[in-house]
Amino acid sequence: MKGPEDDPGLAGKVAIVSGGGAAGDGIGNGRAAAILLARAGTKVLVADRELKLAERTVEMIKAEGGTALAHAFDATQEKDCRQLVDAAVDTWGRLDFLDNNIGIGSRGSVVAEKPEEYRRVMQVNVETMFLVSKHAIPAMIKTAKGGSIVNISSISALRPRGLTTYTVSKAAVIGLTQAMAVDHGPDRIRVNCICPGPMYTPMVNRGNGMTEANRAQRTKASVLKIEGTGWDIGQGVRFLLSNHARYITGQVLVIDGGVTLQGPERDSQAQ
């Protein structure tokens, strides 16, 4: 006998994936989620600050027969976030899912960090999720009678290691997730959080000058001794948005190959 969770409930639904672009043909967390959702029959609005990066994700989705549209926006501006949600609803008539996938890195202690950099990281890593969700939730309630949201945090929120501002911002994402889950559970909106470990993505490679030695060190940090990729995070997003997770809300899913099971090390590579 089949239960309601046997149907993933993704086909015919509409999702926004913020930060859904990536450099070249690389697979970042957002691009992977967008592709995997589209493969399951979800219509995906791929949003990114750089339109060409979102457009490449859309090209990859359409090459597989999926449905997607690219949208450029500045997630730090409420007007852009409102227009993003309106674009999804105007195009497909509804909004069911949101993958909040925007974030930047930072290093240093409270003594070393500049106040303006602290404010910038908090704005990009936390306030953007607040702003997109602020407009997405009413649209979900009105057009779909519910929905599901996944916010992307980091294992740095759970295991500080010399990236103080980044850690604070990603810990705030967990708090935001849990508060939203409580606030909007009665609206039949589930809100969960993923904490990625040291995934190898285009952003990590481009932003930090990743060397082969760095990659080997990060792989060794996993108890599985394998390298995590954007696909691993994308699979987690698709699961949490789907009916397979219908009774899961306010939770933190750690996807790190077991890195957090071992002692923390100060590391120059942000996670």
Residue with tokens 């889950």: 181
Tokens of 174: 């967990």
Catalytic residue among 118, 166, 200, 247: 166
What is the spatial distance between Cα 143 and Cα 245, in angstroms, rounded to a whole number?
A: 21
What's the rounded Cα separation, in Å, for the pair 183 and 200?
A: 34
What does the DSSP assignment read for 137-203? Answer: HHHHHHHHS-EEEEEE--GGGTS-SSBHHHHHHHHHHHHHHHHHHHHHGGGTEEEEEEEE-SEE-HH
Are 44 and 70 spatial neighbours (Cβ–Cβ below 8 Å)?
Answer: no
Q: How far is CA 105 from CA 43, 177, 188, 259, 269, in A?
A: 30, 20, 33, 19, 9
Q: What is the DSSP letter of 94?
A: -
Going by their DSSP bridges, the two strands 147-152 and 97-100 should be labelled as parallel
Residue 166 is among the residues annotated as catalytic for this protein: yes
Q: How far apart are CA 56 and CA 152, in angstroms?
A: 22
Q: Are 46 and 21 in contact (CB under 8 A)?
A: yes
Strand 97-100 with 199-200, pairing: unpaired
Instruction: Rounding to the nearest 10 degrees, give the CA dihedral for residues 189, 79, 19, 102.
Output: -80
The residues carrying an active-site annotation are 166
